[in-house]
Amino acid sequence: MACFTVTTVAAIGVGVARHIVRHNEKKVDPTKVDPIKLDTLPVSKKLGMLELGLWGGSFILAGEHVIHGEVTFTFPWLTAVSEGPDAVKEMLFEMGTVGVGMLAIIVGIWGIGLLVRKLLLKRKAKLAKE
């Protein structure tokens, strides 16, 4: 009923963190960065990829809830809020299971993608040395 709010809040938090990190990355002196470092992708770009995944998941879940009539375009927007305390309990349970599960899947896929990228870069560096 409102599981998309979990990934939406996470996307907002990651977006704020990305802007802070990008601001701090601009302050770093490029002459002090180790040029031999394998992974040259800035942290702000990595967070940007995570943010994009979270927003995508949020929009897909929100669209599904609009199609099924669980979200309306009139106050209170979530039909469970107007249906009483039992529906609110069910909504919170769904947020805690489906919403957190979706968040974990998105972050897991992002982490696996970064790991694969790192392994490919190591392999490329090893082949270049040979």
Three-state secondary structure of the chain: CCCHHHHHHHHHHHHHHHHHHHHHHHCCCHHHCCCCCCCCCCHHHHHHHHHHHHHHHHHHHHHHHHHCCCECCCCCCEHHHHHCHHHHHHHHHHHHHHHHHHHHHHHHHHHHHHHHHHHHHHHHHHHHHC
pLDDT number for residue 6: 92
pLDDT number for residue 71: 78
> By mean pLDDT, which of 22-36, 63-77, 89-103, 106-120 is the weakest?
22-36
Higher per-residue pLDDT: 51 or 76: 51
Whether residue 35 is predicted with pLDDT greater than 60 in this model: the reply is: no
User: How many domains, in total, are found in the chain?
Assistant: 1
With cut-offs at 50, 70 and 90, classify the pLDDT of residue 78: confident
Parent domain of 57:
4-129
Summary mean pLDDT of the chain:
85
Whether residue 37 is predicted with pLDDT greater than 70 in this model: the reply is: no
